[in-house]
Structure 1
Amino acid sequence: MSEFKIQMPKMGESVQEATITKWFVKEGDKVEEDDVLFEIATEKVDSEIPSPVDGIIKKILFEVDAVVPVGEVVAYIETDEDADEETATEGETKGQEKAETTDKNDSQLLQEESAGDFKGASRFYSPLVRSIAKEENISLEELEKIHGSGTNGRVQKQDLLDYIAGKTSGKAFSAPAKEAPAAPSASVPKEKPAAPKVSVSIGADDQIIEMDRVRKIIAEHMVNSVQVAPHVTSVVEADVTNLVLWRKKMKDEFQQKYNQNLTFMPVFTEAVAMALREFPMVNASVDGDKIILRSKVNVGIAVAKPDGNLIVPVIKEADQKNLIGLTSTLNDLANRARNNKLSPDEISGGTFSITNFGSFRNIIGTPIINQPQVAILATGSIEKKPAVMETPTGDAIVVRHKMFLSLSYDHRIIDGAMGGAFLRRIADILEEFDVNRKI
């Protein structure tokens, strides 16, 4: 029997600690590899942490609501392996192995020298998976290409055995493309003037509600954004009749063909991505007196969670995806966002954001910039309105589908001319949408 240390994982480069919000197991419980052990909350995301091994929970060292530094041991799992202590820790967004292993049982565990081969891994590999990989002479580069069926894409024992069987039988293996890492975020000035404290009188019948952790973080970020960047908002009204008619005509076919719900947001995202390539200054960040032009177009979409808070998953390289890819990616991110299933990488690296006021039947709004970005687009509800149109026989009043688009931008680097031109370009792309476009 041996003990396996479960450490607080590192959920992103800037995250140094996390709060344990829930335990799914108790001491004495039997767990299998990939069973969820506990849930943690960081400033960026809430995550469920799975067990890397089979065994029995021997000791839990921290209670719920404890704030634990990255790398601290939070629990011990007793395993059947006849080996020295093992340690599970995740160093990158999706987890990197930092465990040391011994050669007491070479058929089950990798030797310490071999563990070093996994330092560049993009995700966590259990000792059993590493052992099988060693025995079958599968390199880390080859292992990284295997699509895992475990939590956050982790490769499980059966995934590896299936891959080995496929190699033996000569079947072709296709790995999903590996996404390039997002550019680092620009630093935000640390020295901020303290927010003025407002004296609030409380009546006898008033109710006091304590902000939850996420709401406190959102509040801090919003105040910080307004303090850092001088906001300006421009507004245009766009005639999206062609888009509305096209979606009405194609949504059933799209659902049947791709098993995806076709909404307006993928089209808005497509238009934004096109415009950002034409206006690189809007796809930027400010770092002191330096302007950082982002090489990637990573569009964040604000999603309302069931608890009323917001989260902004990011569609990486949105300009490289077609409408089918944007729809699939957006639906997947939104569904997992509402269920706290996003990884830190999926909510970081954004270069521009969109918030949909129209989902709440609001026609217009003035959004706050999501730092360290320099602009954010708000889309209002689409409504039927009377409009004057030119016809061969003269002007006529007709019914059209219209919506307001509002852009808040950082006036330090984007002036009214550029902000207005960028917003107008998005509206033009939407207005020129081809009603006969094929999927």
Structure 2
Amino acid sequence: VAEDEVLYEVSTDKVDTEVASPASGFLAEIVVAEGDTVDVGAKLAVITTEAPGGGGGATPAAEPAPDDEPPAEESAAEEETPDAEAEAEPQPTPAPKPEPAAEAPEPEAPEPVERTPAPAPTPSTASVPTSPIGGGKLLSPVVRRLVAEHGLDPEAITGSGAGGRITREDVLKVIESGPVEAPTAPAAAPTAPTRAVPAPMAATPGERDTAVPHSNIRKRTAEHMTRSLATSAHVYVSIEVDFEAVERVRRAAKDEWKAAEGFSLTYLPFIARAVVDAVADFPEVNATFGADELIVHHYLNLGVAVDLDYKGLMVPVVHDADGKRLRAIAREISELAGKARTKKLGPDDISGGTFTITNPGPFGTTMTMPIINQPQVAILSTDGVKRRPVVVTGADGSEAIAIHSVGNLTLTWDHRAFDGAYSSGFLSRVRELLETRDWAAEL
């Protein structure tokens, strides 16, 4: 193996992370089989500087040369290795198993996957992924597995990743497009026998159907959302907000802001900032529900849901948001969103959230009722803001019709933790702050 060559993929509840080799050498031993759940800090493999008895080491050493994998991503993965392993190893390979949809309901689903890659005993596994299956291309474990299962030729797949790297999505597109000639079919043969069980499932869809394997993020999201609905007493309250005070400041500052910060000034940071102050007045929305007590957090770690180009959802966390003003919150949200979309989030970036905001507003939604992110007790949805006619009251008490920027905020809350008056009071306070604060002073 070569330094920075992808060795394996680890998975957390929200993140799939490819881990690169910290140094060049030979993969002498694979200690953990695919699909295993191991303790934090457990040894996964052994890399030596000398070829283990049988040679063949020249191949992995030579092949990394054509590797076009992005150094930034690789080094990020390498730097995050200790933390990524610590958080992700509990479920290293649910990602490979996604395609057998029928396995999802079975608690022991990971076991079939463990047996599938059982060929791990041979140290030469380090060479197998890059030569027999990958040809001249280095493939991540997940991509390599999909290629083998479907008898595809990696050389015939155009990679959309940095440097032409083949991603999981590239392989799935080829699978969905229909049969592809596979000159490397013999190489997939060893895997076929162990994948005999999934085969019938792949044949289940009709001629006009396509079976799309669940990604690890999709599987984890499904598990968490189902568990949340079964755990919390979900109730919803929505409120209309006049964003005109925010819009005036945003419109006046947007060009200067974009030039100085490098990203656009949206409504989200204003809403997040209002939430920070509203939580101070209604602290129980920032809590965890226990069997005998409500644990109220005297700090606000604000989770912000980030869409991954329709391929999943991550919730990075702005830690200690209660000590930050609008500009700092906006910067951190932008930075975390960028890291989420480039798969550079570390375990610390997605842990410790105490309250969450989800923002479907850019899609023009009217009212969204999200599911609570456990073990929290509330989540706020920010929907689309549009120019609408509203009734405004003048200084002399007279009323007039004006065109303002108006949108809805919806709070999903756990009725076990508090009641409707409390949740409505919190949401009303958020609205009051958005409509009356001197936002120009915040910038």
Q: TM-score, normalised by structure 1?
A: 0.62
Equivalent-residue separation in structure 1 for 2:397 and 2:425 (angstroms): 33
- Alpha-carbon offset, residue 242 of structure 1: 1.4
Tell me the amino acid that sits aligned with residue 421 of structure 2. Answer: A
Equivalent-residue separation in structure 2 for 1:211 and 1:341 (angstroms): 21
Whether the 8 Å CA contact 1:94–1:345 is kept in 2: the answer is no
Q: Aligned runs of 1:339-354 on 2, under 5 Å?
A: 339-354=342-357
User: Which residue in the other structure is 1:428 paired with?
Assistant: 432
Q: Aligned runs of 1:11-160 on 2, under 5 Å?
A: 29-31=1-3, 37-52=7-22, 54-59=23-28, 61=30, 66-67=35-36, 69-70=38-39, 71-79=41-49
- Alpha-carbon offset, residue 288 of structure 1: 1.2
Q: Aligned runs of 1:213-362 on 2, under 5 Å?
A: 213-362=216-365
What does the per-residue CA deviation read over 1:294-330, in whole Å, with 9 as the maximum and x for residues that have no partner? 1210010000012521110010000101222111111
- Alpha-carbon offset, residue 63 of structure 1: 9.7
RMSD: 2.9
- Alpha-carbon offset, residue 35 of structure 1: 6.3
Is 1:409 equivalent to 2:431 in the alignment?
Answer: no
What does the per-residue CA deviation read over 1:352-401, in whole Å, with 9 as the maximum and x for residues that have no partner? 00001202211111111111000000001100111112234832211111
The correspondence for 1:418, drawn from 403, 406, 422, is 422
Whether the 8 Å CA contact 1:94–1:343 is kept in 2: the answer is no
User: Which residue in the other structure is 2:372 paired with?
Assistant: 369
- Alpha-carbon offset, residue 272 of structure 1: 0.7
Whether the 8 Å CA contact 2:384–2:407 is kept in 1: the answer is yes
Tell me the amino acid that sits aligned with residue 424 of structure 2. Answer: G
Equivalent-residue separation in structure 2 for 1:57 and 1:427 (angstroms): 60
Whether the 8 Å CA contact 1:44–1:344 is kept in 2: the answer is no
Percent of aligned pairs with the same amino acid:
36
User: Which residue in the other structure is 2:404 paired with?
Assistant: 400
Structure-2 change in CA distance of 1:262 and 1:65 (3 Å): farther
Q: Aligned runs of 1:166-181 on 2, under 5 Å?
A: none
Tell me the amino acid that sits aligned with residue 30 of structure 1. Answer: A
Equivalent-residue separation in structure 1 for 2:309 and 2:80 (angstroms): 31
Gaps of 5+ in 1: 1-28, 81-87, 97-200
Whether the 8 Å CA contact 1:357–1:363 is kept in 2: the answer is no
Tell me the amino acid that sits aligned with residue 27 of structure 2. Answer: K
What does the per-residue CA deviation read over 1:29-57, in whole Å, with 9 as the maximum and x for residues that have no partner? 332xx6654332222422232444x3323
Whether the 8 Å CA contact 2:242–2:407 is kept in 1: the answer is yes
Structure-2 change in CA distance of 1:204 and 1:44 (3 Å): closer
**Structure richer in strand, relative to its length:** 1
Q: Name the stretch that deviates more: 202-211 or 227-236.
A: 202-211
User: Which residue in the other structure is 1:142 paired with?
Assistant: none
SS of alignment partner, residue 67 of structure 1: coil
User: Which residue in the other structure is 2:191 paired with?
Assistant: none
User: Which residue in the other structure is 2:163 paired with?
Assistant: none
**Structure richer in helix, relative to its length:** 2
Aligned residues: 297
SS of alignment partner, residue 297 of structure 1: coil
User: Which residue in the other structure is 2:121 paired with?
Assistant: none
SS of alignment partner, residue 217 of structure 2: helix
Gaps of 5+ in 2: 51-78, 88-203
